[in-house]
């Protein structure tokens, strides 16, 4: 039996491809000054871009993008962040605030297949928690190219209550440029130089925590 999640993601890929093709047709229709050879070159170029994007999304799906999954060891954490360019990792414990975060992370994982969404139990990951200075739970580590660029700590930046919307969290994560976000935001991405920590450097010591 075919995996229903993979089936949904494949449909999303086809939808995106169709939308891109429709956009291409609209652009071509407006370029009346171009001759047939120019139009054919343009169409061929865009079709190659579409094919490249479809291949990229297929690879993302093979890495576990599109679903919200749990990492069961610190070693697996380093494997995940090395495999995917963008990762959102939820450090959690079994409590209500973390369950609220789980709900929104599950939704965003399906909406943003360009990013890997995972969670790891903080109390079972002492090396990571200490290295990344995880104190408040829930905390989201926003990771790009193996580096933790930013954090979402608790609900302080989400209104301070547990009734924030998925869109609120989506916009906050987008400020760190860890997801592709086309919505209008009143916040400009802020500098994250001070909170950046190199996960690759941490990987050299992860065997000590096992």
The domain spans of the chain are 66-176
What is d(CA 205, CA 210) in angstroms, rounded to the nearest whole number?
A: 10
**CB-facing half-sphere around the CA of 125: CA atoms within 13 A:** 25
Cα 17 off chain centre by? 20
**pTM higher than 0.75:** no
Provide the sign of the torsion angle of the four alpha carbons 23, 25, 26, 32, taken in this order: positive
Per residue in 166-193, pLDDT (tens digit) is 999 999 999 999 999 876 543 444 444 4
**Given the DSSP bridges, would you call strands 86-92 and 139-144 parallel, antiparallel or unpaired?**
antiparallel
Per residue in 72-123, pLDDT (tens digit) is 999 999 999 999 999 999 999 999 999 999 999 999 999 999 999 999 999 9
C-alpha closest to that of 112 among 154, 173, 47: 173
Q: Is the pLDDT of residue 37 over 80?
A: no
Q: Is the pLDDT of residue 35 over 80?
A: no
Q: Is the pLDDT of residue 128 over 70?
A: yes
DSSP state of 189: P
CA distances from 88 to 50, 65, 162 (A): 26, 11, 19
pLDDT of residue 61: 92
Are 187 and 171 in contact by the 8 Å Cβ rule? The answer is yes
Q: What is the CATH number of domain 66-176?
A: 3.40.30.10
Contacts of 73 (CB under 8 A, 6+ apart): 210
Could you tell me the two tokens for 154? 């608790």
What is d(CA 209, CA 150) in angstroms, rounded to the nearest whole number?
A: 23
Q: Is the pLDDT of residue 34 over 90?
A: no
Are 12 and 111 in contact by the 8 Å Cβ rule? The answer is no
């Amino acid at each position: 039996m075919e995996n229903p999640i993979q089936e949904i993601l494949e449909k999303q890929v086809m939808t995106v491809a169709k939308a891109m093709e429709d956009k291409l047709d609209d652009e071509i229709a407006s370029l009346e000054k171009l001759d047939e050879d120019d139009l054919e070159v343009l169409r061929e170029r865009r079709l190659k871009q579409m094919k490249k994007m479809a291949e990229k999304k297929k690879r993302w799906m093979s890495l576990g993008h599109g679903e919200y999954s749990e990492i069961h060891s610190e070693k697996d954490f380093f494997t995940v962040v090395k495999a995917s360019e963008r990762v959102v990792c939820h450090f959690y414990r079994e409590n209500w605030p973390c369950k609220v975060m789980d709900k929104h992370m599950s939704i965003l994982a399906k909406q943003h297949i360009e990013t890997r969404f995972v969670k790891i139990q903080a109390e079972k990951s002492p090396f990571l928690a200490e290295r990344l200075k995880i104190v408040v739970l829930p905390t989201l580590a926003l990771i790009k190219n193996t580096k933790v660029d930013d954090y979402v700590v608790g609900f302080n930046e989400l209104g301070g209550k547990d009734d924030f919307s998925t869109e609120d969290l989506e916009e906050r994560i987008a400020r760190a440029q860890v997801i592709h976000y086309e919505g209008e935001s009143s916040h400009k991405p802020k500098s994250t130089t001070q909170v950046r920590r190199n996960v690759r450097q941490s990987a050299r010591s992860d065997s000590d925590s096992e």
